Chains A and B, each alone.
Chain A
Amino acid sequence: MKQQAFETHYAARWDAFADWLKRAGGQRTKTQPAEPAIDPMQVPARYRELCQHLALARDRQYSADLIERLSRLALAGHQALYAARSRGLERVWQFLRSGFPRAVRRDVRFVVLAALLFFGPLLVLTFAIPEHPDFAYVVLPAKVLDDVQEMYGEAAKTLGRKREADTDVAMFGFYIFNNVRIGFQTFAGGLVFGLGTIFYLLYNGVFIGAITGHIIHSGLATQFFSFTSGHSAFELGAICLSGAAGLKLGHAVLAPGQLKRAAALRAAAAEAVPLVAGLAGMLLVAAAIEAFWSPRTFLLPVVKYAVGGTLWLLLLLYFTFAGRGRAA
């Protein structure tokens, strides 16, 4: 068939498909008839027909303008038909209810490894520094330790704050800016064979452990734990999860198994995304608690310990039991 005959024969069908694409893309044309040009149930068949026309045009070596026009239509049709449809809020709820805890359980060995790397130095230093208090000054600069003492000292009206930054909203912004960024960087560091993640986990563990040990040695333990117990569950848990996600990436790069490295990395990244999204949410909650609840001094310490302990328990129960026994 000559090109001209081909074009005149099928032009109407191509135009109808293009019109459907415009509607599917949400654009409104000025002269739009009430009926769509194509019955939606027919769209896949019409797309396949368009692909066949394109293949014919290429095979018969029709002119470049026709091939270009059909290629553009085919690309747009491909994107319209094969794009993943996000289901919005329902998907978020599904994620919280089962997607996130299942992702954590699936990668539990990475979570355990990250917890060892993070809590290991943290606990060692927490218990060792009260015995050897000068070691705190080896690990951290003196100014940091003095600041910390000031934040939890007797004179602190609100806990955990230096006197300059004394509104909750400002600190909320700061905690979001600082902590979520740390979480993301810990995750991203896993790409470098896991070394970045390991470094961040060890560094943060040492840092927090040294501060905690120093605080205990200075006799400010009650104020300190009164401040930190509320948000500690969410924040430390999130750091563990970011470490787990990063280690997962590092493992894919180091030991891709049967796959090529790029393919193993893609698969690991796809599985790590739920962890990262979940930990970002946890850090947001932790920032809110840390900014609005933790600094309050009018509550008895024992109340805050109770709340903190309950949150730890709830988180552990959530990750252990949520999302079980439900069809995927």
Chain B
Amino acid sequence: MLDTAREIPTPEGIELNLRLAGPVARALAWAVDLLLRVAVFGVLSIPLAMLGNVGGGIYLILWFALEWLYPTAFEVYFGGATPGKRALALMVLHSDGTPVGLPASLTRNLLRAVDFLPFLYGFGLLAMLLSRDFQRLGDIAAGTVVVYRELDLQHGAIPLAVPLQPARPLSAAEQRTLLDLAARSQVLTPERAQELASLAPRLTGARDDAAALGRVLSIANYLIGRRPQ
């Protein structure tokens, strides 16, 4: 229940990994959207006030569009995310991983009227907490999910180092661990990477942390098959 990773099987036989977004991120995205809409509305109401009654009509049409059509327009035509969602690096997808289309987006946004009850998305929050995929009522009806847009790579390429055969054969789990640390060493701070490398003193046999990290990288290079030239 606490796991937000969703694996979607595809017709090609692999599984796509998506990370679902919870109520807090979505609430923040909604707040950003609300501020943006209020700002747009406020800015545009000044020239509209000067247009008198015609301005009044346009004002109401603008209000209607910002209330009902704003999310759909962005989700369908601008990459699945309103500006608020984009600020939080979220996006809306169908539950099979494809980008959201017009019918689904219309459904989930029109049913916001129910999700908003009794006040400030009470029903929506309840539905999100009870659903396996953090779907509010509109999402359930439309078959959509809100996921994180993975922008940063969690791992970098394993840095080049002189390959070094480990003293004894390593099990699959141990190899996995070393490779993961080597891949993450690009993303972690040097101090943290060295601290982690120092956790295996008998393997690395090194006196200080920097040398331990160097030893881990060398073994990792050997494990992935790089050979001394």
Contact = CB atoms under 8 A, between A and B. Distances in A.
Contacts of B157: 65
Given A61-B172, A184-B68, A270-B103, A177 B54 contact: no
Interface string B48-61: 00001110111111
B53 A63 contact: no
Nearest to B176: A61
A63 B172 contact: no
A225 B135 CA distance: 47
B141 A63 contact: no
A176 B101 contact: no
Contact of B140 (A63, A184, A266, A273): A266
B224 interface: yes
Contacts of A61: 172, 175-176
A181 B112 CA distance: 12
B155 interface: yes
Contacts of B10: 51, 74, 78
Given A63-B179, A75-B16, A196-B114, A265 B140 contact: yes
Interface stretch (A28-36, A81-89, A110-118, A119-127): A81-89
Contacts of A5: 225
Interface string A53-95: 0110000011111001101101100110011101000000000
A167 interface: yes
A86 B140 CA distance: 23
A241 interface: no
B156 interface: yes
Contacts, number: 163
Size class of the contact patch on chain A: 35 or more
A74 B16 contact: yes
A189 B97 CA distance: 29
A86 B61 contact: no
A313 interface: no
A172 B55 CA distance: 11
A60 to B, nearest CB: 10
Interface residues of B, number: 62
A77 B141 CA distance: 27
A266 B143 contact: yes
A181 B155 contact: no
A169 B54 contact: yes
B107 A273 contact: yes
B153 interface: yes
Contacts of B102: 86
Contact of A84 (B101, B153, B176): B101
Nearest to B227: A4
A64 B101 contact: no
A71 B16 contact: yes
A71 B8 CA distance: 12
Contact of B150 (A72, A82, A86): A72
Nearest to A196: B114
B64 A170 contact: no
Contacts of A171: 57
Most B CB atoms within 10 A — which of A65, A72, A79, A168?
A65
B70 interface: no
Contact of A65 (B97, B113, B141, B183): B183
B158 A65 contact: yes
Given A4-B224, A63-B155, A249-B141, A177 B53 contact: no
Contacts of A86: 76, 101-102
Nearest to A287: B61
Contacts of A72: 150, 153
B61 A173 contact: yes
Nearest to A84: B101
Nearest to A82: B98
Contact of B225 (A2, A174, A196): A2
16 contacts: A2-B224, A4-B226, A64-B179, A65-B155, A75-B16, A78-B98, A79-B97, A79-B98, A82-B98, A86-B101, A170-B56, A177-B63, A181-B67, A188-B110, A191-B114, A270-B103
Instruction: Across the A-B interface, give the 6 residue pairs with the lowest CB-CB distance, nearest first.
Output: A2-B225, A173-B57, A173-B60, A167-B53, A65-B155, A188-B113
Interface of B: 10, 12-14, 16-18, 52-54, 56-61, 63-64, 67-68, 76, 93, 96-99, 101-104, 106-107, 110-114, 137, 140-143, 150, 153-158, 172, 175-176, 179-180, 182-184, 220, 223-226
Given A74-B10, A83-B98, A184-B68, 15 more contacts: A4-B225, A51-B13, A63-B179, A64-B180, A69-B153, A75-B97, A165-B56, A170-B54, A174-B60, A181-B67, A265-B140, A266-B142, A269-B107, A269-B141, A270-B103
